[in-house]
């Protein structure tokens, strides 16, 4: 009875954990909600102020009316974000969020941050994306992000010589890993390797993102590139790392059909309702024909595919909003409870665990294989 009541609440069209809305794809809506929560958690509201050295000169006229700009931007950001969370006109609210964020950045040169501008564009383009079409505007945005990053480096001599990387890791970061490895190599060689590989990877990602068949490769290149960078430097560049990971949700192609889930009867009864509750906001149904002798503990049918055990669990997690919300909340909890080396150690351990678990590699287990059903 309790389970059914919770299910009824979650399926309410205005409940924040419901991502099946009429005019927005579930993964795009999830991306927008997570980006909004990320900005709130990182104190974005506190940074909003009246124009100061704006990029757009007409914004100087707002200074004739103190606090009007600040209050208006804060109100628009907060109200549109809350309405987005409750699924009220999510596309419109995303456009307002993105526009608000971009206008705020244009109003103050000292406040401008690349990762905030990327968030603003993501909101705006998400709102402009129809539910039944691929989010090509967002694909293009992400491609431009990496193309811009690569071209900025290509035309800087210090990147080719490795001097920029060396100065940043030695003088700014005092990075012990870099100091230890570079000491074993000829002078500046490790800095050049890091610099050249960064330019090559970023440019490759920018190109691959333009081709749909290469999206999986591009996504894993992005994940591994930033994971290695964070592991080596213990630095996230504001919340750029989180922004990119959240924006990668645009590459999920949400299943068109309900998935059927089978949990073997041999699985302890204690876990069965927990699994059902965790995947409650996923579009799934549970099979009734369950046999004790089945050799697997989890099976998922989706369209013409049948997945078992690890493969089935990966599929369920990929298309379960609660999974991404759990990662987000756990990451924020780590930031709140710990700091310094302990915080980074926990975050990096969790990050690599998830990467190794989700890597599209068959480790020799039959459960990871995908079975295509006979059309007959």
Q: In this predicted structure, what is the pLDDT of residue 77?
A: 95
Q: Beta strands of 259-309 (E only): which ranges?
A: 259-263, 284-286, 298-302, 305-308
Burial of 83 (0-12, 13-18, 19+ CB in 10 A): middle
Confirm if 313 and 298 have CB atoms less than 8 A apart.
Answer: yes
Q: In this predicted structure, what is the pLDDT of residue 370?
A: 40
Q: In this predicted structure, what is the pLDDT of residue 32?
A: 97
Q: What angle do CA 86, 273, 293 make, to 5 degrees?
A: 135
H helix and E strand count, the chain? 17, 5
From the list 282, 185, 173, 287, the residue with the least C-alpha distance to 230 is: 173
From the list 136, 199, 140, the residue with the least C-alpha distance to 164 is: 199
**H/E segment holding residue 370:** strand 370-372
Cα(366)–Cα(353) distance, integer angstroms: 21
Tally Cβ neighbours within 10 Å of residue 243.
23
Q: Give the predicted TM-score (pTM) of the model.
A: 0.89
Backbone torsions φ then ψ of 234, nearest 5 degrees: 55, 40
In the three-class reduction of DSSP (H, G, I as helix; E, B as strand; rest coil), residue 194 is classed as helix
Confirm if 208 and 217 have CB atoms less than 8 A apart.
Answer: yes
pLDDT tens string 144-184: 999 999 999 999 999 999 999 999 999 888 888 899 999 99
Residues present in the chain in total? 376
Q: In this predicted structure, what is the pLDDT of residue 271?
A: 67
Cα(168)–Cα(174) distance, integer angstroms: 8
Give me the long-range contacts of 152-160 (CB less than 8 A, separation at least 24): 153/195, 153/198, 153/199, 153/202, 154/199, 154/203, 159/195, 159/198, 159/199, 160/192, 160/195, 160/196
In the three-class reduction of DSSP (H, G, I as helix; E, B as strand; rest coil), residue 307 is classed as strand
Cα(199)–Cα(227) distance, integer angstroms: 16
Enter the tokens of residue 282.
């996923």
Domain ranges in the chain are 20-133, 134-245, 255-376
Q: In this predicted structure, what is the pLDDT of residue 208?
A: 97
The tens place of each residue's pLDDT in the chain, 376 residues long, gives 555 666 667 667 788 888 888 889 999 999 999 999 999 999 988 888 888 888 877 877 877 778 888 899 999 999 999 999 999 999 999 999 999 999 999 988 888 889 999 999 999 999 999 988 999 999 999 999 999 999 999 999 999 999 999 999 998 888 888 999 999 999 899 999 999 999 999 999 999 999 999 999 999 999 999 999 999 998 888 889 999 999 999 999 888 777 888 877 666 666 666 676 777 766 666 665 555 556 777 888 887 888 888 888 899 899 989 999 999 999 999 999 998 889 999 999 999 999 999 988 764 444 434 433 333 3
């Amino acid at each position: 009875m309790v389970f059914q009541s919770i299910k009824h609440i979650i399926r309410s069209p205005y409940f924040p954990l419901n991502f099946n809305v009429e005019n927005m794809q579930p993964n795009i809506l999830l991306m927008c909600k997570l980006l909004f929560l990320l900005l709130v958690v990182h104190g974005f509201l506190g940074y909003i102020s009246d124009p100061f050295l704006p990029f757009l000169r007409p914004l100087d006229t707002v200074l004739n009316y103190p606090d009007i700009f600040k209050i208006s931007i804060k109100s628009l950001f907060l109200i549109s974000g809350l309405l987005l969370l409750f699924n009220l006109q999510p596309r419109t609210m995303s456009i307002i969020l993105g526009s608000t964020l971009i206008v705020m950045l244009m109003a103050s040169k000292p406040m401008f941050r690349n990762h905030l501008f990327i968030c603003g564009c993501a909101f705006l383009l998400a709102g402009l994306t129809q539910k039944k079409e691929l989010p090509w505007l967002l694909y293009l945005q992400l491609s431009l992000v990496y193309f811009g990053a690569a071209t900025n480096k290509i035309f800087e001599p210090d990147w080719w010589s490795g001097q920029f990387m060396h100065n940043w890791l030695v003088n700014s970061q005092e990075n012990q890993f870099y100091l230890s490895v570079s000491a074993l190599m000829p002078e500046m060689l490790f800095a050049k390797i890091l610099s050249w590989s960064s330019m090559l990877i970023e440019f490759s990602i920018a190109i691959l993102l333009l081709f749909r068949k290469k999206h999986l490769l591009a996504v894993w290149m992005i994940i591994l590139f930033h994971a290695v960078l964070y592991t080596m430097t213990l630095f996230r560049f504001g919340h750029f790392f989180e922004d990119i990971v959240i924006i990668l949700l645009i590459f999920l192609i949400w299943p068109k059909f309900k998935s059927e889930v089978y949990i073997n009867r041999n699985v302890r009864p204690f876990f069965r309702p927990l699994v059902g509750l965790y995947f409650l906001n996923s579009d799934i149904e549970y099979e009734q024909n369950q046999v004790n002798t089945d050799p697997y503990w989890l099976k998922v049918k989706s369209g013409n595919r049948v997945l078992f055990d690890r493969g089935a669990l990966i599929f369920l997690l990929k298309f379960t909003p609660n999974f991404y919300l759990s990662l987000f909340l756990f990451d924020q909890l780590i930031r709140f409870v710990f700091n310094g080396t302990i915080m980074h150690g926990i975050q990096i351990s969790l990050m690599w665990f998830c990467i190794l678990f989700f890597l599209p590699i068959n480790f020799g287990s039959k459960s990871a294989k995908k079975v295509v059903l006979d059309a007959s």
